[in-house]
Amino acid sequence: MKLIIVESPTKTKSISKFLGKEYKLLSSYGHIRDLPQKGLGVDIKNNFKPEYVISDKAKKVVKELREAAKKSDLIILATDEDREGEAIAWHILHALKMNEKGNYQRIVFHEITKSAIEKALENPRKIDINLVDAQQARRILDRLVGYKLSPFLWKKVARGLSAGRVQSVAVRLIVDKEREIKAFKPEEYWSIEANLKKQDNPEEFIARLAKKDNKKIDKLGIKDKKEADEILKELKGAEYKISDIQKKETKKYPAPPFKTSTLQQEASRKLGFSAKQTMRLAQQLYEAGLITYHRTDSLNLSNESLRDANEFIKNKFGLKYISSSPRVYKTKSKGAQEADEAIRPTKSEHDPDEIKNYPDGRQYKLYRLIWQRFIASQMNPAILDNVAIDIQANGSTGSPCIFRANGSTIKFDGFLKIYSTKLKEKNLPELNKEEILELIKLISEQHFTQPPARYTEASLVKILEEYGIGRPSTYASIISVIQDRKYVEKDDQKRFVPTEIGFTVIDILKKHFPKIVDVKFTANVEENLDKISEGKQKWQDILKEFYEPFEKNLKKKTEEVKKEDFQKKLGRKCPECKSELVEKFGRFGKFIACTNYPECKYTEKSADDKKKEDEIRKNEGDEKGDIICDKCGSKMEIKNGPYGMFLGCSKYPECKNIKKIENKTGVKCPECKKGEIVERKSKKGRIFYSCSKYPKCKFALWDKPIKEECPKCKSLLVQTKNNKIKCSNKECAYKKDD
């Protein structure tokens, strides 16, 4: 008997379909050995030797694997093909009390198909210890930073804080961006547009002022209303004549198939999936044999998949849609290739509709996205007809003004047949040079420059990849960890905002441990890890190079930095012992405490918390501001917890009633006319808006309602995630900017 060990039970079921009775398949259920949860687990003096332990939850699995291994003629390790998978295979080997020279085989495959499994079994190898060492180095580096630096933050700032090697850099990027936004000063500028039409055609179009006095008007060209009004005055009575028509045919090429980072970005933009959610769904699709391995930096495509795609495109759309030769894409991102191919469907003919009825509809959506992107990557480009019209208007002073109108139409849809982009057609009427146009009206509009946008999950993954921070397998966990630690949170448009504690931790690290949050330094560490995986560097040397200066600086800062450095003096005395009051950080944010602690335990809430409490009492309480417990009639107190403020009964523990504080919109429920629309979160963390009288009234919206009615149908108007105002009634097409 031959024993095949994989890391997932789902993968076991998928592979078993392609194998005979001489094979037995078992799963390790992920990692079975790791550094201990308690203690450092690394012998620094003994060349950073790790102390691996079998977790309690894995002991039963290890026992089963050992028993099966004793009865087997050959052990085949078939874990994932990246560094993580190689390390899992190596740990399984050691848990079975074997070594790299034992009677085993290591097989890898990029997709779970019959041909891929058979090919892997025909081409076994031994464990690649270089890949294992790279993963070990990453794990030990992260343990050293977390285990050594977190206690420093505990002692100097507040208990419960922690610092991660890569996560801290991600938080720093978000903090720096927020400071850039806060420092931004908007600049005023104006635009002038002409609403025009042909004299014999009612179809109107817009042209924008592009030149004045033969000088190009850039974005900030018209600085204020006075300048705009002067131009409008000059244009009074002007004739609008077409001075130039430029027509150009352009091609729009399809994007490459997905790699891990671009899949996370596109799934975030198009489907609203988090990076963590995308990776979980992709894992399920991979294990079901529907897509190739999903942790990859590569854009390579196998010859078989290219032939497969061309055959599908020819049969489905016709020869004119097939690229003249297979389109090959090159990887531009930094770092190691985690796998041999891009993410693609295992078979082009596996139409997305085949899995439309899967238990989780999100699997269907993600598979459709992957399938469409891959097929599109091998289709011909779209051909666009672009036209640019210059319209001259001579002002009253004789100075020429040039207005520009642009149009674009799709001549041949090409890959757009299957994969939609943000491309929009803009039709212009048929126009001729020297033609005189009729002016409907001139429009001058005030604008202000906008601050840089906060990071979304998609843009954060993109910048991490550009800087070479982390790897495909780590982006999702980085984003998850920085939210779990409450260093960042998401605004109502799902963009990252640093919390107060996030600002503080980054400021401390920038001042005292600058390398930990230095983008170039962190990227250089990743490059060194890649060198280890290529056998060009020893993992212990990399650890030593990092750890020795880090440990030296940590000892120095532990002595130099005082806890008082992070406590703001308020210039007030403690009402109980007359010592000085300071503002401190706690597990749930800032609070005010006596400097004579622990002798004096006086505390009070911060000014910000008091302000929030006043707003809550105003919204939740009676005319006196009292909030009454609906179970025992006592007063409710406003308390702070790990998930923010909440209401708790003052008679606790006799009465354990608690109540969530809802964010009210000030909009009355249009259905029951009694409740108020409040902001809520779904089980999956998505914000929605519903009636405060739920479950009696089940009125709900995904978009935020505003205190205005639709002028067409009198339904509520809502503000979308893109700040557009539209009608909440799906049958009404009203949009405010129409």
* Domains of the chain and CATH, by start: 2-127 (3.40.50.140), 137-184+453-560 (1.10.460.10), 188-253+384-448 (2.70.20.10), 260-380 (1.10.290.10), 567-605 (no CATH), 608-660 (no CATH), 678-727 (no CATH)
For residue 187 the two structure tokens come to 């600049």
Say how far apart CA 116 and CA 291 lie, in whole Å. Answer: 12
Mean pLDDT of 389-404: 87
State residue 265's pLDDT score: 95
| Nearest residue to 95 via CA among 148, 15, 30 | 30
Evaluate if residue 592 carries a pLDDT over 70. yes
- Least reliable range by pLDDT among 13-27, 61-75, 301-315, 718-732: 718-732
For residue 73 the two structure tokens come to 């003629």
Mean pLDDT of 98-112: 87
Evaluate if residue 534 carries a pLDDT over 50. yes
Angle, in degrees to the nearest 10, between helices 539-560 and 519-533: 150
614 pLDDT band, cuts 50/70/90, is: confident
* Annotation marks residue 475 as catalytic: no
State residue 332's pLDDT score: 63
For residue 154 the two structure tokens come to 């505990």
- Least reliable range by pLDDT among 188-197, 306-315, 655-664: 655-664
- Least reliable range by pLDDT among 139-143, 175-179, 224-228, 695-699: 695-699
State residue 511's pLDDT score: 94
State residue 259's pLDDT score: 94
Angle, in degrees to the nearest 10, between helices 129-156 and 500-512: 110
| CB-based contacts of 164, cutoff 8 Å, min separation 6 | 142, 145, 146, 481
Evaluate if residue 459 carries a pLDDT over 80. yes
State residue 360's pLDDT score: 78
Evaluate if residue 331 carries a pLDDT over 80. no
Evaluate if residue 662 carries a pLDDT over 90. no
State residue 471's pLDDT score: 85
C-alpha angle 403/408/414, rounded to 5°? 165
State residue 336's pLDDT score: 43
Evaluate if residue 619 carries a pLDDT over 80. no
- In the chain the first and final C-alpha atoms are separated, in Å, by 71
40 pLDDT band, cuts 50/70/90, is: very high
State residue 242's pLDDT score: 96
Rank 29-43, 605-619, 627-641 by mean pLDDT and report only the highest: 29-43
Task: List the alpha helices (DSSP H) in 300-437.
Answer: 303-317, 361-377
Mean pLDDT of 450-460: 94
Say how far apart CA 655 and CA 660 lie, in whole Å. Answer: 16
What is the overall mean pLDDT for the chain? 90
What residues does 536 pair with on adjacent strands?
none
Exposed, middle or buried by CB within 10 Å (0-12, 13-18, 19+), for 325? exposed
The backbone region for 55, taken as left when phi is positive above 0, alpha when psi lies in -120 to 50, beta otherwise, is beta
- Least reliable range by pLDDT among 142-156, 326-340, 518-532, 601-615: 326-340
Rank 12-21, 358-367, 610-619, 656-665 by mean pLDDT and report only the highest: 12-21
State residue 76's pLDDT score: 96
Evaluate if residue 337 carries a pLDDT over 60. no
Evaluate if residue 357 carries a pLDDT over 90. no
State residue 574's pLDDT score: 96
Mean pLDDT of 549-559: 95
| Nearest residue to 641 via CA among 652, 631, 630 | 652
State residue 666's pLDDT score: 83
Mean pLDDT of 351-364: 82
- Least reliable range by pLDDT among 202-206, 341-345, 544-548: 202-206
Task: Report the percentage of the chain scoring pLDDT > 70.
Answer: 96
Cα radius of gyration rounded to whole Å, the chain: 32
| Nearest residue to 52 via CA among 69, 30, 37, 65 | 37
State residue 738's pLDDT score: 45
| Nearest residue to 508 via CA among 162, 143, 178 | 162
Verify cis geometry, omega within 30 degrees of 0, for the bond prior to 381. no
The larger pLDDT score, comparing residue 107 to residue 425, is at 107
- Residue 308 phi, psi (nearest 5): -60, -45
Question: How are strands ordered across the β-sheet holding 700-701?
Answer: 663-668, 676-681, 687-691, 700-701
Q: How far are the Cα atoms of 290, 646, 692 from residue 635, in angstroms, in the given order?
A: 57, 13, 21
Of the candidates 104, 189, 286, 293, the residue annotated as catalytic is 293
Task: List the alpha helices (DSSP H) in 125-190.
Answer: 129-156, 167-183
